[in-house]
Amino acid sequence: MGTLNIVLVEPQIPQNTGNISRTCAVTGARLHLVGPMGFTITDRQLKRAGLDYWDLLDVTLYDSLPEFFEKNAGPFYYFTTKGQRCYSDVAYPDGAYLVFGREDRGLPEPLLFANKEACVRLPMLVHPHARSLNLSNTVAIAAYEALRQWDFEGLKEAGELTAFDWADDPGAQETEGGSAKG
């Protein structure tokens, strides 16, 4: 399985980081948290949002963006509403770092300007009151695009029912409230 890195730069909302932690846990992505953050890792809301998954995470903490760049080589892809390229037009290599900014102002513009070709965006309607998607939704969309490009290597693609077996004839089963054929 390839290595996918999710980077949150100065996240401010613990529930978003908790949801993103859960996405990382179920996809095997590594999570990088770059401070300063608007909460502590022990924050109750953070733990509640990803509680059952926290022990499955590979998390690295950094005090600052310069420290993050000192310790990681990329390639980096900067997700921003200001990007000129669509996120799905990029081929994400093994070891890619998908970088996301803080909820209230995104990534620093000097960083974006210096890395124009690595800036990507999700298509959205143009509306003065619709600035962007929620951060945790954006991370999930981006992560699954990279994983789709990698053919979901190492991920379980088919689910299982708890009370039934998909291999059984569904026409022979009765469900609560009527026939399974209905």
H-helix or E-strand spanning residue 30: strand 30-34
Q: Tell me if 119 sits within 8 A of 82, measured CB to CB.
A: yes
- The verdict on whether residue 122 carries a ligand-binding annotation is yes
- The candidate with the shortest Cα–Cα distance to 60, out of 41, 80, 82, 81, is 41
Extract long-range pairs of 111-115: CB within 8 Å, 24+ residues apart. 111/65, 111/78, 112/78, 112/80, 112/82, 112/83, 115/76, 115/78
- Map residue 138 onto helix, strand or coil: helix
- The verdict on whether residue 132 carries a ligand-binding annotation is yes
- The DSSP 8-state label assigned to residue 93 in this structure reads P
Residue list, annotated binding site = 101, 122, 132
Residue list, annotated binding site for S-adenosyl-L-methionine = 101, 122, 132
